[in-house]
A and B are shown apart, each in its own frame.
Chain A
Amino acid sequence: MSTTTLPPGQRQEPVSAPRRMISDRSRAERKLGWMLAGPAFGVMLLVTAYPIAQAIYDSLFDFRLTDPDNRAFTGLSNYWVILTDRIWWISLGVTLFITVVTVAVELVLGFALALVMMKALSTIRPVVRAAILIPYAVITVVSAFAWRFAFGLDTGFVNTWFGWVPGIGAETDWFGGQWSALFVVCIAEIWKTTPFISLLLLAGLAQVPDVLQEAARVDGATWWQRMSKVTLPNMKAAIMVALLFRSLDAFRVFDSIFVMTNGANNTESVSFLAYRQTIARLEIGLGSAVSVLLFLCVVLISALFIKGFKVDLSSTRGEG
């Protein structure tokens, strides 16, 4: 790490994270910060904290939407029902599988695309960036339908185009089996959100000072050495933030599964399970409990990233 940090002259002390005495100026700044962020904080409390609290409260009841009169307090029994049900664990497994596979592939692909965007000739750079960003601009439901139509037996072209691949024939029913359906779901997710990860990584790449690259080049470092010793360590924060955001996003996967399989053949994710209990089955209590568990999983992932991998979210603002 010592060779990769900035020379002392260019180092800046973090402005918003004073560790010693709080000066008058920083106190004023803090006040200004609260005034600026306060309204947004209030709105967040209203639109996020309140529904979360409501869901936690509802999850303790046996409550069916069409039968509000028979609402009864049941304590933690909803959680017991969920955690002892095989479907919860299958859904959790499917969700983790989708999360791990898509995020891993997206990280590699996204990094490659970020490098392309970074190094592309300045004349074609805008075109390259726009082309890479298009999938991200497509609504998830629309992209899910596009992929469903591509792989469907009645409308699809994939079986014809890839008929030469062993295991794929004119009659391969992609949505008829768990693994093949999950494969399509993952591909759709990867296609759709790789641009997001590559954008975050591009921001990270742009932060790596040219001085360091130059110094490493002068010292005779190979491309791979520069990549692994200079570029990657310097953009660790950006990588971690990209990973964190995408993992949280991927863990809540819903649209693609809803459109493609509607949860058939064990392709249900945890969000889908919450949808089924709350919206389809109208069991607000049970559904809220699934949602709370989903929320806890998301909190756990965040904690793991922030504490476990020591991601400093403020460092992406170029302060670290």
Chain B
Amino acid sequence: MPDDRRDGPPVRETGPDRRPTGRRRTATAAALLLSASFLAACGGDSGGAPTLTWYINPDSGGQAEIAKRCTEAADGRYRVEVTLLPRESSEQRQQLVRRLAANDSSIDIMSLDPPYIPEFSEAGFLAPVPDEVAERVTEGVVESAVAGSTWKDELVAVPFWANTQLFWYRKSVAEAAGLDVSGPVTWDQVIDAAKQQDKLLGVQGIRAEALTVWLNALVESAGGHIITGRAEDPESVQLGLADEPASKAAEIMRSVNDAGVGGPALSTAGEDVNVTGFEGDDAGFMVNWPFVWPRALAAVKAGTLEQSVPDDYGWSLYPRVEPGQESAPPYGGINLGVGAFSKHVDLAYEAAECATSEENQSYYFVTNGNPAAKAAVYDDPEVVKAFPMAPVIRESLEKAAPRPQTAYYSEVSSSLQRTYHPTSSVRPDGTGQSAANLIKAVLKKEQLL
């Protein structure tokens, strides 16, 4: 380099006269290039490959591993990095919405809880799914997961994993109570059995999203819907909360409460409290997500739980409301949205496709206990080995009903939580109507929440 900076002709002159200036130019260009690549490195794009940021919900490390695998599979075309969102799904939404409302281009991929997908889509926060991608990512995916990624008849997110609640029972308790678990059970039967045996029936009575999940499953199982029409219009949304199925749902909530089988902390019990109860001595029955199973096995491994406890676990489909009517279990899970302000939408969809591949879904199911959205995964021998209840989960997913799909889901859910909490105050003949009134007033912005 010093040669080039020297005035006068260079020492090793080989070309014609204009050579020195030419070399000087090359040097300047090289210096510029160097500094440009240095700046780019500061910006996070090392080695030229764009870095995609995937905002994930907390899990047992599965999504971070999938990101690593997809980075490797991309062979240098992109790198996927994960950023952790808060634990509660409502807080995940808050953080994402705040960032997206400020047009944050750092959000390439995000793990979204399905109920919030309409809101994100309506606000223009999701980059449109290319048709051929939509076709590929919905192939062989269970019905409820596709429905959960769809808004206004269009796929707006990539189905990743699909969750559903099962009815969990202690075989010994069910046997002692004479509860026939070989076929479908009803809520009334389960409540009676728990009461008769003086055991717990774990339900989610906490003032949180879990309460909405329970209520929605009860209403849907009774054949009704929380939102019956015009979900996209806050001024004229139609609600089914004053209908017969909703009052039947309220009746069940109330009888769980009045029978005293929900445990002393019913009004503060979420899924985790339920599992703790189900692992304890008073355990009888519970409705909960499949994470119950790996959690019990991990506790056995850690030496905090006897092997006899998970051996006593039984599972079947979500309880029915009416004996003659199939239940509609809760649908949950995570779907992947691509940020509308991302600088690499195409690559982000490519990465999302990689993350939701059959292989990765099956890995995620086995290691993290999160059931796959693709039906074929349930035939994977490894999955069946780790999750003996996999066939029931798949069946449950086919019957599962989503929570009300509306761009105002947060308002609807918070209003329901406010009126249906605590369960001791639920009245089958009045709570539905007051919830409907509150939702309507809140959507018209005439009331606080």
Contact = CB atoms under 8 A, between A and B. Distances in A.
Contacts of A154: 265, 273, 276
Interface string A57-82: 00000100111100000000000011
Contact of B448 (A171, A262, A273): A273
A173 B101 contact: no
A82 B194 CA distance: 44
Contact of B122 (A66, A85, A282): A66
Contact of B445 (A62, A87, A176): A62
B188 interface: no
A85 B438 CA distance: 12
A281 B267 contact: no
A265 B267 contact: yes
B117 to A, nearest CB: 13
A303 interface: no
A280 to B, nearest CB: 6
A262 B448 CA distance: 16
B449 A277 contact: yes
A82 B449 CA distance: 10
Interface string A194-232: 000000000000000000000000000000000000000
Sort A-B residue pairs by CB-CB distance and give the 4 closest, nearest first: A171-B264, A264-B207, A66-B123, A153-B265
Contacts of B207: 262-265
Given A85-B447, A87-B448, A279-B98, 6 more contacts: A265-B422, A273-B448, A280-B414, A281-B414, A283-B445, A286-B448
Contacts of A82: 448
Contacts of A171: 264
A175 B123 contact: no
A154 B280 CA distance: 11
Interface in B433-449: 442, 445-449
Interface string A162-176: 000000000111011
A152 B268 CA distance: 9
Interface in B235-287: 264-268, 273, 276
Q: For this complex, into which size category does the number of interface residues on chain B fall?
A: 20 to 34
B108 interface: no
A277 B448 contact: yes
Contacts of B97: 65-66, 282
Contacts of A176: 265-268, 422
B426 to A, nearest CB: 14
A262 to B, nearest CB: 6
Interface in B196-210: 206-208
> What is the size category of the interface that chain A forms with chain B?
20 to 34
A281 B449 contact: yes
21 contacts: A65-B98, A87-B447, A152-B268, A153-B268, A154-B273, A173-B268, A175-B267, A175-B268, A176-B268, A264-B207, A265-B207, A265-B267, A273-B448, A276-B414, A276-B448, A277-B449, A279-B94, A280-B94, A280-B449, A281-B414, A282-B97
B411 interface: yes
Interface in B87-102: 90, 94, 97-98, 101
Contacts of A88: 448
A81 B119 contact: no
B138 interface: no
B24 interface: no
Given A273-B448, A277-B449, A66 B265 contact: no
B273 A67 contact: no
B410 interface: yes
A65 B101 CA distance: 7
Contacts of B446: 81
A66 B410 CA distance: 12
A176 B273 CA distance: 14
B68 interface: no
B195 interface: no
Contacts of B206: 264
Interface centre among A66, A152, A175 (most CB of B within 10 A): A66
A175 B264 CA distance: 11
B9 to A, nearest CB: 58
Interface in A113-159: 152-154
Interface in A273-320: 273, 276-277, 279-283, 286, 290
Nearest to B442: A281
Contacts of B268: 152-153, 173, 175-176, 264
Contacts of B123: 66-67
B448 A173 contact: no
Nearest to A74: B445
B295 interface: no
Interface string B363-392: 000000000000000000000000000000
B171 interface: no
